[in-house]
Amino acid sequence: MNADKRYEIFTRLKADNPNPQTELNYNSNFELLISVILSAQATDVSVNKATEALYKKAGTPDKMAKLGVEGLKKYIKTIGLYNTKAKNVINTCKMLVELHESEVPSTRAALEALPGVGRKTANVVLNTAFNQPTMAVDTHIFRISNRTKIAPGKDVLAVEKKLIRHVPKDFILDAHHWLILHGRYVCTARKPRCGACTIEDLCEFKDKTEY
């Protein structure tokens, strides 16, 4: 895919949604971090339902750490992998208190040192909380990047690097959100809604007929 086509794709995505936002509910960088950790292999809807009560009770690292693993499980037991996530979240909260003065760090190395925080989670936080030009490649972005040929790659890291290199600078800060939302609601996995897609004529997906 050439640069002009990519620029037009993101121009249209921006026109449709000028100020894209994550669908996770949060009121602080800390709540964002915890929600992203909890969202692994879970829907944003399920995370939001669980965290509504959780953040009212424990909206700071210190308060959440004091819940303990078993106390936290009561709030997040409806979310997949909640046992492992509870342990990671409590340990992350303790590290935030002890090492970062209860603040979410703004560097990749510090974020990825927190339990339950991998590259994708770090990228979400760096982009959404700190306005850094990162690209968190989830299943939606991986699928769209390969299907449309915006940034094809064999694994998520390859796609991430290509997106960072090829997404026009004018759009890089919001590109992650546009692509996720497009994959979630339009370019879906099983039956992409090609007829309703604002970038259909620019897409290089060759097998639309199978849908």
Angle formed at CA 129 by CA 167 and CA 47, multiple of 5 degrees: 100
138, 149, 154, 155: which one is catalytic? 138
Active-site residue flag, 149? no
Cβ atoms of residues 53 and 81 within 8 Å: no
b/e burial code for range 118-147 (CB count within 10 A of at least 16 → b): ebbbbbbbbbbbeebebbbbbebbbbbbbb
120, 162, 201, 208: which one is catalytic? 120
Active-site residue flag, 138? yes
Give the distance from CA 120 to its chain's centroid: 7
- C-alpha 23/C-alpha 181 separation (Å) is 9
- C-alpha 51/C-alpha 68 separation (Å) is 16
Give the distance from CA 128 to its chain's centroid: 9
Question: And the tokens for 123?
Answer: 């990228």
Cβ atoms of residues 136 and 118 within 8 Å: no
Question: Could you say which DSSP state residue 155 is in?
Answer: S
Which residues are known to be catalytic? 120, 138
